[in-house]
Amino acid sequence: MDDRSLAARIASAQDEAGARMGARTAVAARIAYPTRRDRSLPAGVLLMAVAAATLVVLWSRQTDETPSVTFDVDGRAAVAGEWIAPDLVSERLSFSDGSTVRLDPRAAVRVRTLEPEGAALVLERGRVELDVRKRPGARWTVEAGPYVVSALGTRFVVRWEPAARELEVAVAHGRVSVRHRDGREAVLGAAEQLRATSDGIWRVEPERDDAPSTPIEVEAPPSAPPIEARPAPPRRAPVARPSPTPSWRSLADEGRFADALARAEAEGFERILERASADDLLALSTAARLGGSTARAIDGCDALRRRFPGTRQSTVAAFQRGRLAFDREHDPRSAARWMAIYLTEEPDGELARDARGRRLEALRTAGLDDEARDAAREYLAHHPEGPHAAMARQTLAR
């Protein structure tokens, strides 16, 4: 057999095995059950063809691989496994496929795994709102205690209270499945909600609103005289009234941070800084941070520190300043200083673990090795299993 004939036979085998779907099965079948034409080939030629076809299959599988979705927290790239707990105002996770997860204050969530089809989240406590982008094969789950909530292209809310062992799931649109590890499962549609309590009772009901979902009909008692039919008076056309303009705070509470920032500017940002309460200033700073204005976020934190010293909101503002310095201003020395201020004022606060981890990260980035090693020791002493524990051990091993 000449070289040209050999090459033609190998190319033919490659073409047959290179089909994207079922290529591996086709190759295995040709090996186990060779056709008459295959048996006529020399053994060496057949093996060369199978090897070439296998390489084609492997190459095609690699090129077909889709990267997993990624996500960020307020523009800061995040990784799976990190616990995320917002401060006194909501936080938002943005995923590369367009899906978002909004955490209410004092919630705690961890992105356990990231896949091309979506993500698996673990809700430790509190309330989260998911807006999952609908796309073929999307797969998103939220684990809360013994429950797993699964969704495909939907918007829904999950609230988990670990102390009371109570779960609440409310669906805005789409469909979700709620499964318990004992095998029970409920499927919810749009405008339905599920309540599961510690006594094992599940209740699926329509979402509540201000008015009944169906009109209530009351029959007249038998002794009542018949009602004479009279022509209805002419109805006046309703007078159109302009809807009230939402305040910046209501927009911030809805998660519309860019709109909230624009409304605050229209209402007078500087005036708000001097008149707003401590809670409002913290919400304003967070709305500016998530709305895209680092300068206004800093203004809010600074006003809060100046006007309400010694309060919890002021201490949280110190943490926010450190976050802004590291993530937005790229000033790790300033970030480390602000995190140290937070830890001085609230060493056992809800954000203490994140503050110690961020301070360690900032000191390493700044090249302050001696201080970084001290921060690593402090972190491991308080949080030996925390998300920055590996970084702390690596710092001490240098």
Least confident of 55-64, 160-169, 295-304, 331-340: 55-64
- Residues 141-172: pLDDT tens digits? 999 989 999 986 688 899 988 878 889 999 98
- pLDDT of 217 > 60? The answer is no
Asked whether the beta carbons of 207 and 192 are under 8 A apart, the reply is yes
- pLDDT of 197 > 50? The answer is yes
Between CA 83 and CA 93 the distance in angstroms is 12
Between CA 249 and CA 280 the distance in angstroms is 7
- pLDDT of 202 > 80? The answer is yes
SS3 sequence, 347-394? CCCCCHHHHHHHHHHHHHHHCCHHHHHHHHHHHHHHCCCCCCHHHHHH
CATH 1.25.40.10 positions along the chain are 248-396
- When the pLDDT of each residue in the chain is averaged and rounded to a whole number, the result is 78
Q: In the prediction, which pLDDT does 13 show?
A: 45
Q: Percent of the chain scored above 70 by pLDDT?
A: 72
The end-to-end CA distance of the chain, in Å, is 63
What is the radius of gyration, based on Cα positions, of the chain?
30
Burial tier of 355 (Cβ tally within 10 Å: 0-12, 13-18, 19+): buried
CB atoms within 10 A of CB 189: 12
Between CA 8 and CA 320 the distance in angstroms is 67
Q: What is the average per-residue pLDDT within 118-129?
A: 90
- Residues 22-69: pLDDT tens digits? 444 444 444 444 444 444 545 555 555 555 555 444 444 444 456 888
User: Which residues 6+ apart lie within 8 Å of 329 measured at CB?
Assistant: 294
Record: fold of 248-396: 1.25.40
Tokens of 250: 């209501």
The correct CATH number of 71-206 out of 3.30.70.20, 3.30.700.30, 2.60.120.1440, 3.40.190.10 is: 2.60.120.1440
Least confident of 17-21, 44-48, 189-193: 17-21
- Residues 232-269: pLDDT tens digits? 455 555 555 555 788 999 888 877 888 999 999 999 99
Q: How far is CA 115 from CA 100, 111, 245, 327, in A?
A: 15, 11, 41, 26
User: Which residues 6+ apart lie within 8 Å of 237 measured at CB?
Assistant: none
Q: In the prediction, which pLDDT does 90 show?
A: 64
From the list 148, 78, 83, 68, the residue with the least C-alpha distance to 114 is: 68
Q: How far from the centroid of its chain's Cα atoms is residue 242's Cα? A: 36
CATH 2.60.120.1440 positions along the chain are 71-206
From the list 280, 359, 268, 375, the residue with the least C-alpha distance to 319 is: 359
Could you tell me where the beta strands, DSSP code E, fall in 132-230? 140-144, 147-151, 155-161, 166-173, 176-180, 185-188, 192-196, 202-206
Between CA 311 and CA 319 the distance in angstroms is 13
